[in-house]
Amino acid sequence: MLDECMEGLAIRPEGTYVDVTFGGGGHSRAILSHLNKYGKLLAFDQDADARQNAIDDKRFVFIDQNFRYLKNFCRLHHAIPVDGILADLGVSSYQFDEAERGFSIRFDAELDMRMNRQSPLTAKEVVNCYPEAELHRIFGIYGEIQNAKSLASTIATARLHQPIITVADLKNVIAARIPKGKENKYLAQVFQALRIEVNQELEALKQFLVQSAEVLESGGRLVVMSYHSLEDRLVKNYIGKGKFSGEVEKDLYGNDNKPFDAVSRGAITASEEEIKINNRARSAKLRIAVKK
Core vs surface per residue 237-268: b (16+ CB within 10 A) or e: bbbbbbebeeeeeeeeeeeeebbbeebeeebb
Q: Are residues 54 and 112 in the same domain?
A: no
Q: Are residues 117 and 88 in the same domain?
A: no
Domain boundary among 199, 223, 258: 199
Residue type, 81: P
Section 226-234 average pLDDT: 95
Section 27-37 average pLDDT: 98
pLDDT given for residue 102 in this prediction: 61
Is the pLDDT reported for residue 103 higher than 80?
Answer: no
CATH of the domain at 255: 3.40.50.150
Question: What domain range is 112 assigned to?
Answer: 96-199
Question: Where does the pLDDT of residue 281 fall: very low under 50, low under 70, confident under 90, or very high at 90 and above?
Answer: confident
Backbone conformation region of residue 113, classed left if phi is above 0, alpha if psi is from -120 to 50, else beta: left
- 3-class DSSP state of 8: helix
Is the pLDDT reported for residue 93 higher than 70?
Answer: no
Q: Are residues 42 and 114 in the same domain?
A: no
Q: Are residues 245 and 117 in the same domain?
A: no
Q: Are residues 77 and 214 in the same domain?
A: yes
Is the pLDDT reported for residue 219 higher than 90?
Answer: yes
Q: Are residues 88 and 231 in the same domain?
A: yes
Residue type, 159: R
Question: Where does the pLDDT of residue 279 fall: very low under 50, low under 70, confident under 90, or very high at 90 and above?
Answer: confident
CATH of the domain at 134: 1.10.150.170
Domain boundary among 173, 199, 225: 199
Q: Are residues 149 and 228 in the same domain?
A: no
pLDDT given for residue 96 in this prediction: 56
Section 144-161 average pLDDT: 97
| CB count in 10 Å sphere of residue 19 | 30
pLDDT given for residue 232 in this prediction: 97
Average pLDDT of the residues of the chain: 93
Section 217-236 average pLDDT: 96
Q: Are residues 191 and 267 in the same domain?
A: no
pLDDT given for residue 278 in this prediction: 83
Considering the chain, what percentage of its residues have pLDDT values greater than 70? 96
pLDDT given for residue 229 in this prediction: 93
Report the candidate in 3, 2, 4 with the shortest Cα–Cα distance to residue 25. Answer: 2
Q: Are residues 88 and 209 in the same domain?
A: yes
User: Could you tell me if 244 and 234 are in contact, meaning their C-beta atoms sit under 8 angstroms apart?
Assistant: yes
How many domains in the chain?
2
Q: Are residues 132 and 170 in the same domain?
A: yes
H/E element holding 226?
A: strand 216-226
Alpha-helical (H) ranges within the chain are 2-9, 26-33, 70-76, 93-97, 123-129, 132-141, 148-161, 167-174, 183-199, 201-215, 229-241, 272-277
pLDDT given for residue 95 in this prediction: 59
What's the pTM?
0.92
Q: Are residues 34 and 179 in the same domain?
A: no
Q: Is the peptide bond before 81 cis (omega within 30 degrees of 0)?
A: yes
Question: Where does the pLDDT of residue 37 fall: very low under 50, low under 70, confident under 90, or very high at 90 and above?
Answer: very high
pLDDT given for residue 177 in this prediction: 96
Residue of 162 and 249 predicted with greater confidence: 162
Section 159-171 average pLDDT: 97
Is the pLDDT reported for residue 91 higher than 90?
Answer: no
Q: Are residues 24 and 80 in the same domain?
A: yes
Is the pLDDT reported for residue 94 higher than 60?
Answer: no
Domain boundary among 148, 173, 199: 199
pLDDT given for residue 99 in this prediction: 56
